[in-house]
Amino acid sequence: MEIQLLFFGITTDIVGVNKMKYTLKEGATVGNLKKLLIAKYSALKNINDFAIAINEEYVKDTTIITKNDIVAIIPPVSGG
């Protein structure tokens, strides 16, 4: 199934874009997605410290992703 990924903060730099289409197996969880992303972009290894939102709502690793979901990868930022 296809989903949309959004990237914020440092993850935009790591991935090189701020959004992309992404294909995922039906029934995949947020935890599964995190693992796939780390495998592809090893600089995302701290993704477990980042917030993940599906359709603008904070979600846990166990949340199941569904088709066309907009999944945002939101790292902490520290500038001021």
Partner 1 sequence: MNITSEEFFKRQTTLSEIGNEGQQLLQKAKVLVIGCGGLGSPIAIYLATSGVGTLHLVDFDTVSVSNLHRQVFFKTEDVKKSKAEILASEVKKRAPFTNVSFTDKAVTKNTVLDLISNFDVIVDGTDSLSIKYLINDACVLLKKPLIYGSLYKFDGYVATFNYQNEDGSFSCNLRDAFPKIATDIPNCEEAGTLNPIVGIIALLQVNEVLKLITKTGILLVNQLLIYNALENSQFKMKLRKNDSIHIEEIFKNSDYLETYCETQDASLLISASEFLKIETKNSTEVVSVLNHTDALIPFKVHQKIPYRTFNAEDFNPDYDKKYVVICKKGITSYDVTLKLKEKFPQLTIFSLVNGIDNY
Binding site for partner 1 (CB under 8 A): 6, 8-10, 12-18, 40-43, 45-46, 49-51, 53, 56-58, 72, 74-80
Alpha carbon 30 to its chain centroid, in Å, reads 8
Q: How far apart are CA 7 and CA 47, in angstroms?
A: 12
Select from 70, 78, 77, 56 the least CA-distant residue to 9.
Answer: 77
Q: Which is nearer to partner 1, 26 or 49 (CB)?
A: 49
- The least CB distance from residue 67 to partner 1, in Å, is 21
Q: Which is nearer to partner 1, 8 or 32 (CB)?
A: 8
